[in-house]
């Protein structure tokens, strides 16, 4: 695995980790649906400004979204409308620390969907990680072990994780395209969709300071986080990027204890230990074997130093660039992840 991709995944986790505890504060004045719309609008607007500041020269390195990818774009937007709404409702009904740690169930949802629907390879170590994270999430979902009553808030958080699991896999299919374009489309599409729902439900509350804070939080926790996440997915695949992303709930938990002074319960401590073990197994999985690359034509940002892009140019080329190119058939052995260049069966 490339260290740069792992670093991007961890950066994404850090940016998103502050979301739950800060959102919990802002939900004191804003409704869950309106809050969800502001987070994505902040992401779209913030990344649009950053992209404009970059200038047009840097855009030549990235491939643009085409009509072929539109079904994945539509799925990404629809799922991103539902997921944060479920999360904000869950946050309003459970503790910030509980919601932060339960967000790790997104790894399970992403991995299972990647395996079953998108045929992404998942090894024994990853399955063990999925099992441990599932057990941890189940412990956190139970409100009272003496009566086995389930927390409604936790169920909404789990629903958000399932939506994001599907969304992560849709985004993976777009990960070779310009990440700025993806985040801007995702931010404005999901943001305005949620805003329409908030307006129809009469849940829009004009509280200037809270709205501004929500937009800024959206830029960091959703905009920058999604950008780094997409860059990581290019090389790590959907399941493994989510595994490194597992650091974000623990950051959220730490901030929750600092901000809200929440007390550690026995069930929470046990769940945290089990989830940490699962996250460790997922993050340090290694996958290496002889595999074949079939002929493939597509367009994305690439360089000629990775051993997979061996095509020849009629003009001098240095560093990373983007253009339509053909991968010739090749058989070789190296450590790899299920990125969009390694979709072979096992």
What pLDDT does 39 receive? 94
Would you state the pLDDT for residue 339?
A: 57
Sign of the CA dihedral with 197 first, then 198, 201, and 202 last: negative
In angstroms, the CA 252 to CA 254 distance is: 5
pLDDT digits (tens, 9 = 90+) for 304-330: 666 666 667 666 666 566 667 676 676
Specify burial of residue 269 (Cβ count, 10 A radius: 0-12, 13-18, 19+): exposed
The CA radius of gyration of the chain, in Å to the nearest whole number, is 20
CA torsion 261-267-272-278 (nearest 10°) is -160
pLDDT at position 72? 93
pLDDT score recorded for residue 66: 87
Q: Are 155 and 67 in contact (CB under 8 A)?
A: no
- C-alpha–C-alpha distance, residues 100 and 119, integer Å: 29
Residue corresponding to tokens 């990235």: 62
One digit per residue, pLDDT tens: the chain, 346 residues? Answer: 467 888 888 899 889 888 888 888 899 899 999 999 999 999 999 999 998 887 665 555 777 888 888 999 999 999 989 998 898 898 888 877 777 777 778 878 888 888 888 776 677 887 888 788 778 767 766 655 554 456 788 889 899 999 999 998 998 888 788 889 999 999 999 999 999 999 998 889 888 899 999 999 999 999 999 899 888 887 777 767 777 776 676 677 777 777 777 676 787 788 888 878 887 787 676 656 565 656 666 665 656 666 666 667 666 666 566 667 676 676 656 554 555 555 545 5
Dihedral Cα 158, 161, 163, 165, nearest 10 deg: -140
Name the pTM for this structure. Answer: 0.71
């Amino acid at each position: 695995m490339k260290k740069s991709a792992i670093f991007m995944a961890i950066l994404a986790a850090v940016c998103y980790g502050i979301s739950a505890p800060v959102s919990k504060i802002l939900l004191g004045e804003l409704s869950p649906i309106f809050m969800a719309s502001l987070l994505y609008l902040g992401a779209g607007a913030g990344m649009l400004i950053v992209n404009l500041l970059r200038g047009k020269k840097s855009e030549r390195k990235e491939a643009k979204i085409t009509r072929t990818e539109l079904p994945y774009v539509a799925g990404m937007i629809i799922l991103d409308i539902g997921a944060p709404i479920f999360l904000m409702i869950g946050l309003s009904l459970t503790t910030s620390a509980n919601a932060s740690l339960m967000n790790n169930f997104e790894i399970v949802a992403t991995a299972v969907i990647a395996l079953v629907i998108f045929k992404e390879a998942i090894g024994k170590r990853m399955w063990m990680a999925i099992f441990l994270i599932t057990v941890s999430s189940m412990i956190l979902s139970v409100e009272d072990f003496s009566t086995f009553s389930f927390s409604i808030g936790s169920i909404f958080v789990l629903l958000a994780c399932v939506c994001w699991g599907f969304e992560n896999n849709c985004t993976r299919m777009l990960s070779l395209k310009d990440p700025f374009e993806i985040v801007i489309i995702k931010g404005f599409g999901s943001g305005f969709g949620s805003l329409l729902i908030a307006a129809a439900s009469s849940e829009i509350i004009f509280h200037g300071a809270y709205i501004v804070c929500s937009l800024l939080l959206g830029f960091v926790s959703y905009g920058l986080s999604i950008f780094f996440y997409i860059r990581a997915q290019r090389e790590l695949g959907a399941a493994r990027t989510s595994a490194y992303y597992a650091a974000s709930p623990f950051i959220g938990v730490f901030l929750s204890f600092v901000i809200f002074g929440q007390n550690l319960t026995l069930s929470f401590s046990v769940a945290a230990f089990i989830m940490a073990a699962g996250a460790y197994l997922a993050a340090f999985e290694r996958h290496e074997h002889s595999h074949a690359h079939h002929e493939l034509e597509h367009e994305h940002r690439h360089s000629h130093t990775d051993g997979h892009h061996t095509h020849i140019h009629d003009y001098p080329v240095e560093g990373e660039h983007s253009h339509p190119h053909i991968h010739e058939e090749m058989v070789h052995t190296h450590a790899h992840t299920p990125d969009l260049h390694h979709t072979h069966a096992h």
